[in-house]
Amino acid sequence: MPLSEQEQRLLEEMERSLYQNDADFVATVNPHRGRTNYRVLVIGVLIGVVGVATLVAGVIVRQPIIGVLGFAVMFAGVLLIFAPPRKGTEQLPSAPPSTPKARGGSNSFMSNLNDRWDKRQDGRE
């Protein structure tokens, strides 16, 4: 079910607030925010295929050391595929340009939500 227009605006405002107020959290939750490095992906797949072939060859010739070596190579290829990118190659996501401060608002979105919550709680007591 698609979001209504008001819900989409609210979600976009929450995302902007998150990027503005907690960029470190965003970076740790979603470190793969940039473009995919296809060179590393292809190299990892090739290493994994060589590892599988070595593993199978070790089973065929009945040499456990070759099978273990093949498994280690295959595991290294998979680690290369799924390893996070190095910190020097990718930058943290920047805050979108339309943050509340950029629009001239003095309160952030979250403080507005907290104020509204406090008002509701005071009304019920």
Q: How many Cβ atoms are within 10 Å of 4's Cβ, its own excluded?
A: 9
Q: What pTM value is reported for the model?
A: 0.46
pLDDT score of 67 more than 80: yes
The answer to whether residues 53 and 70 touch, using CB atoms and an 8 Å cutoff, is yes
Name the percent of the chain lying above pLDDT 70. 70
Does residue 22 surpass a pLDDT of 60?
Answer: yes
Go through 28-37 and write b for each residue having 16 or more CB atoms within 10 A of its CB, e for each that does not.
Answer: eeeeeeeeee
Give the model's pLDDT for residue 28: 67
